Amino acid sequence: MASSKHFTAILAFLLASSLIAASSANFYQNFDITWGNGRGQISNNGDLLTLSLDKSSGSGFQSNNQYLFGNIDMELKLVPGNSAGTVTAYYLSSQGSTWDEIDFEFLGNLSGDPYILHTNIFTQGKGNREQQFYLWFDPTTDFHTYSILWNPQHIIFSVDGIPIREFKNSESMGIPFPKNQAMRIYSSLWNADDWATRGGIIKTDWTQAPFFASYRNFNAKACVWSSGVSSCASNSTSSDNAWLTQELDSTSQDKLKWVQNNYMIYNYCTDLKRFPQGLPQECSIA
């Protein structure tokens, strides 16, 4: 566990970061609601997107653009109350049988119990890289920022500006890294009560439906991929593209360790029962 002094410093940072406003982009311009038969709605002149789930169907959306690397923020407010059985997924993914994918999934729970933030990374169609966390706040009472920094060096998951997970490019060790397939942003709210809450023991209470998740303040500093050409190709040295070479500084590394020491509840890299023949190779990387 972190020292009380370190804990206090982190909490101070969390309070300060909650006051920082993210720049927003219009949902009408950037996304299409792709399924749900009207259960997904864009409102407030394009500033707010809401997904809903009832017993008949969930809903989802995807970005109009494809990206090959990006620094992507989205504010989410998750399903409140008894959200057991529901999953709100927010992720990047390419297409095809050897797809790449970078996942945030929020697993609902009974009222009073914490959400589980589930993360995973797929490369060339292979995942099994799950890490799970509790959050240090209630994600249902207000909006919080969930970010993916994806550049040629690494992938960093962050919550309200706090890094929670890093996946490094270790191609020199023969470990695939997602760098060749453009990905869209996707999100969906759906029923997964066969596995989402306590391994499927707790089922969705449909008397609580419809369930709602809300989105705002999407912001992407990213390389848009179109017709085989990246928008970053002509201005790769621009200050706006500093994220392409961004690394975790010592302060960010301390915050990452604090989250992992205090809020990580599952790490595939410590699951010897799951990998009796040896942990995945990337787990040896500090």
CA dihedral sign, ordered 215, 216, 222, 226: positive
Which backbone phi and psi does 181 adopt, to 5 degrees?
-115, 125
Give 261-274 pLDDT, tens digit per residue.
999 999 999 999 99
Is 101 tagged catalytic? yes
CATH at 247: 2.60.120.200
Distances (CA, A) of 228 to 66, 148, 178: 11, 23, 16
Give 74-132 pLDDT, tens digit per residue.
999 999 999 999 999 999 999 999 999 999 999 999 988 999 999 999 999 999 999 99
Q: Per the structure block, which two tokens stand in for 282?
A: 């990337």
Q: Residue 284, class by beta-carbon neighbours within 10 Å (0-12 exposed, 13-18 middle, 19+ buried)?
A: exposed
Number of domains in the chain: 1
Q: Per the structure block, which two tokens stand in for 138?
A: 């209630």
Domain range for residue 223?
A: 4-284
Residue whose C-alpha is closest to residue 92's, from 234, 269, 223, 190: 223
List 75, 105, 166, 282, catalytic entry: 105
Residues 116 and 60 sit within 8 Å (Cβ to Cβ)? no
Q: Per the structure block, which two tokens stand in for 63?
A: 């970005």
Is 247 tagged catalytic? no
List 75, 101, 166, 282, catalytic entry: 101
Give 174-211 pLDDT, tens digit per residue.
999 999 999 999 999 999 999 888 888 999 999 999 99
pTM (2 decimals)? 0.89
